Every structure is written in structure tokens, then in C-alpha cells.
């Protein structure tokens, strides 16, 4: 069957075809506009290891604090995993003065998205519908991380510091135009399949 034969079939059922296309596009448009306003808050943490020995006080080369950097990198891996702990997320909500969501621990553990990059940088983001709450949670996360780090450091001489960047909060809404176009494209395929189905069953009779 040639391509023009398919176009002829669509032409014979053009009303059904275009109704499906329009309905899919309209559904995508209405679904997107009905979504609540969403925001994305993100920040960056850098783990640093405080040095108790300065190069001027040492009689040997410290390799520009190479081992401190390596140690901070290893510790940043631990800090990154903390964000997947429901317990830590709960502490962050409490620190921010917000009510902990009544949800499962599995979902609570996915509240923050933390991605570590070399050597000791952690990019953290969180989405939500309340801009002020997101700002509080991002700020509280830095405080909780430093508190946990201090707890681990209080019994030994290894001291880590977590430097934080100013958080950025932006709109995170889905594109109405893009989703509508995707809906129309999906409608084209669905309409074509429906037309082919109608022609197939008509030939079977």
C-alpha cells in the first residue's frame, strides 16, 4: 500500500481523524493549564576540610592541601547520601518551621535531589508549589547539614565546613505551547491508527 492510499483513507474519515487530533490537543492544553503553579529551588554546597597545619608552619610540602581536598571529596559523598534519608528530611522541615508532609518514607526520601560533582560539590534542588516554603527548606538544609557535620567532628580533630551558595528559585511550570503541540502530534498518530482500524474492520465484513 502506497502513502497516497493512507491519505485517501484519512480523507474518507477526515471528520473522525480531525476530531481525535483536536481532542488530544485540547486535552493537553487543559491538563497543562490546570496544573498548580510550581517552583524549583536550587543551591550548591561545597565541602571543605579545615587544615590545622599551614604550609608556613610545616617543614615539608603539603601538596597544596591535596589530601584535605581528597578527604573533603570523600566526605561530600556521605553528605549527598544524607538527602535520601527520611530522618534528615524530617529534621530539615522541623528546622524550617514547617509541617512534615504526611507521606510515605520512600516519597519523603525523594523530597530533595542531590547530585555530587567532583571534587566536593553538591548540587541540591527541590520543587514545590510554595515559593516561601522552598526558600526556608533550602536555607534549613544548609543549617542541618552543618550541624550533622559538627556532630561527627566534635570528638576528633577532623573538621569539615559546608559552604553554601545563595539559593535560586524560579518557575517550574510546564510549557503550555509545548504540551499542546505534543498533544496534537499524539492526536495525529492516534487518529491515523483509528482510521486504519476502521478500514481494517470494514474490509473484514
Domains within the chain, CATH numbers bracketed: 3-35+175-204 (no CATH), 39-171 (3.30.70.1130)
Average pLDDT of the residues in 145-150: 87
pLDDT for position 155: 60
The angle subtended at Cα 37 by Cα 34 and Cα 42, nearest 5°, is 145
Query: What global pTM score does this model have?
Result: 0.68
Q: How many CB atoms lie within 10 A of CB 102?
A: 6
Q: Which residues on adjacent β-strands are paired with residue 40?
A: 127, 170
pLDDT for position 119: 83
- φ, ψ of residue 160 to 5 degrees: the values are -115, 145
The pLDDT tens digits for 9-64 are 777 878 888 899 999 999 998 888 888 888 999 999 998 876 555 545 555 444 45
CB 18 within 8 A of CB 195: no
The pLDDT tens digits for 85-140 are 999 999 999 999 999 988 899 999 999 999 998 888 999 999 998 989 999 999 99
Q: How many CB atoms lie within 10 A of CB 166?
A: 8
> What residues have CB less than 8 Å from 28, skipping those under 6 apart?
179, 180, 182, 183, 184, 186
pLDDT for position 89: 93
CB 153 within 8 A of CB 49: no
Amino acid at each position: 500500500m502506497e502513502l497516497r492510499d493512507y491519505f485517501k483513507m484519512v480523507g474518507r474519515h477526515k471528520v473522525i481523524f480531525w476530531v481525535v487530533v483536536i481532542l488530544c490537543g485540547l486535552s493537553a492544553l487543559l491538563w497543562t493549564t490546570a496544573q498548580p503553579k510550581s517552583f524549583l529551588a536550587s543551591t550548591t554546597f561545597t565541602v571543605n576540610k579545615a587544615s590545622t597545619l599551614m604550609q608556613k608552619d610545616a617543614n615539608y610540602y603539603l601538596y597544596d592541601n591535596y589530601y584535605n581536598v581528597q578527604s573533603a571529596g570523600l566526605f561530600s559523598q556521605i553528605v549527598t547520601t544524607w538527602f535520601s534519608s527520611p530522618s534528615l528530611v524530617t529534621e530539615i522541615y522541623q528546622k524550617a518551621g514547617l509541617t512534615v508532609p504526611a507521606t510515605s518514607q520512600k516519597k519523603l526520601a525523594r523530597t530533595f535531589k542531590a547530585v555530587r560533582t567532583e571534587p566536593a560539590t553538591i548540587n541540591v534542588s527541590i520543587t514545590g508549589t510554595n515559593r516561601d516554603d522552598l526558600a526556608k527548606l533550602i536555607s534549613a538544609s544548609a543549617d542541618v547539614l552543618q550541624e550533622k557535620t559538627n556532630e561527627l567532628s566534635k570528638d576528633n580533630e577532623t573538621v569539615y565546613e559546608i559552604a553554601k551558595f545563595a539559593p535560586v528559585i524560579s518557575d517550574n511550570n510546564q510549557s503550555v505551547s509545548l504540551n499542546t503541540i505534543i498533544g496534537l502530534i499524539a492526536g495525529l498518530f492516534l487518529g491515523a491508527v483509528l482510521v486504519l482500524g476502521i478500514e481494517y474492520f470494514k474490509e473484514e465484513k
